[in-house]
Structure 1
Amino acid sequence: MADNIDHLLTDYFTGKLDVDIKMRKLELSYHSNDDENIGGGRMQNNVVRGAEITMQKLDDDYMLMRLTYIKEVIGMMFDTQTETVQKIIQERYGRKKSWLAVSMIVHIDERSARERRDEFKALIKSPLEAV
């Protein structure tokens, strides 16, 4: 049974997380016709700052910050792992291989491969719970 971390790892290693980040930036970069003149009076100092408004939207967007945080946490934790653990995670989540195929690729027992995966998931679980 796949949990939330399994889905996040699959999204990270298949590139879906990068696509989600780019799509969110694209959505925010297009102007919406939101009226910033809340009071309804005459707007003074009417200077259009499109680039500044877009950057402010990107900086303030919770979903974009969340996706970027997930990507950075998984990437940093993945880089600290041994080559064997990295290969296990890449084969299982990136190439969607079965546990038998993963164990044959890295030359360890299937149960050992699952245990190393579980250790990696436990490592990234606490930082990802903050999101």
Structure 2
Amino acid sequence: MADKIDKLFSDYFSGVINMRIQVRRLELSLPKQTDENIGGGRALNVNRNPVDSKLIAEESDRELKYLFTEIRMIEEFLKTITNDMIQLLKWRYDTRDRHTWQLISYKMHKSKSQCQRDLNFVKEQFENSIWNRLVDMSM
């Protein structure tokens, strides 16, 4: 379970989730070349407005809903912890600017083992508070 939480935090703080949202929106906006008008005539119940079609496709997409839920859950969790713990998560999980434990401990003015204990404590809090609901939604 901890590996999944590590990956989720890493994806969030590195911007991977936001990138996946942008890619999924792009995929949904690409035109589909299926011709459902086999018998001829005009379809009367087809929405011809591209903006409405795009919004409908995005709102009904399960993958986008799940990605937005991941972001919302993490942001709600971050509101419940201290700024020091948020900074610890950023330094540890942002893969664009990965910090070593020595550098994190130096910046936080704590020992390396204390920083690791703090991180484990935050992950346990996340697992007990939100993670179970997030996992249930993915199934």
Q: What's the TM-score bracket when you normalise by the shorter of the two chains?
A: 0.7 to 0.9
2:104 aligned with 1:98, yes or no?
Answer: no
Question: Per the alignment, in what secondary structure is the counterpart of residue 3 of structure 1?
Answer: helix
Is 1:55 the counterpart of 2:55? The answer is: yes
Is the CA contact 2:29–2:54 (under 8 Å) kept in the aligned structure 1? Answer: yes
- Please say if 1:114 is aligned against 2:116: yes
Query: How much does 1:123 deviate?
Result: 2.8
Distance in structure 1 (CA, Å) of the matches to 2:8 and 2:89? 12
Q: How many matched pairs?
A: 129
Alpha carbons of structure 1 residues 69 and 8: separation in structure 2 relative to 1, 3 Å: same
Q: Does 1:73 align with 2:79?
A: no
> What's the % identity of the aligned pairs?
26
Instruction: Give TM-score scaled by structure 1 length.
Output: 0.83
RMSD: 2.2
Taking the aligned partners of 1:109 and 1:64, their CA distance within structure 2 comes to 40
CA distance in 2, matches of 1:35, 1:83: 54
1:123 partner letter: Q
Deviations 1:14-34 (A, max 9, x none): 112111111111111122123
- Equivalent residues of 1:73, 1:127 under 8 A apart: no
Match of 1:24 in 2: 24
User: What are the Cα deviations for residues 54-76 of structure 1, in whole angstroms up to 9, with x where unaligned?
Assistant: 11110111111111111111122
Q: CA deviation at 1:47?
A: 5.5
AA aligned to 2:65 is M
Q: How far apart, CA to CA, are the structure 2 residues paired with 1:55 and 1:77?
A: 28
Q: Does 1:6 align with 2:33?
A: no
